[in-house]
Amino acid sequence: GAQAVLEYQLFYRARYAEAAFASCQGVRLPATGGYAIATMCGRYGAQLCTAQRWLDFQGDKNNGLAPLQIDFRLLPNGSEPG
């Protein structure tokens, strides 16, 4: 039988996730003038989006974009995955 990865956990430092989110937060779509993050955060839209919600949407296989389920875990800065 063939084996395949169907889902996995990904660990990010909170500082890294927040910085990545902040770098995308102000980006606007030229076609609409709206914030790109609004389409990348699912039901929360741009107003209620956070780094964790943004990553959760990106890793949700039910969003029609992610090829498999990704469970993003944000670690406190300076900690190690356990």
Helix (H, G, I), strand (E, B) or coil at 22: helix
Inter-residue contact 36 to 28 (CB < 8 Å):
yes
For the chain, which residues make up each domain, given as ranges?
Answer: 7-75
CB 74 within 8 A of CB 15: no
pLDDT given for residue 33 in this prediction: 92
Confidence of residue 78 (pLDDT cuts 50, 70, 90): confident
Please state, in angstroms and rounded to a whole number, the distance separating the CA atoms of residues 67 and 77: 29
Where do runs of H (alpha helix) occur along the chain? Answer: 14-25, 45-48, 51-58
- 19-53: per-residue pLDDT in tens? 999 999 999 999 999 999 998 999 999 999 999 99
For residues 21 and 14, give the distance between their C-alpha atoms in angstroms, rounded to a whole number.
10
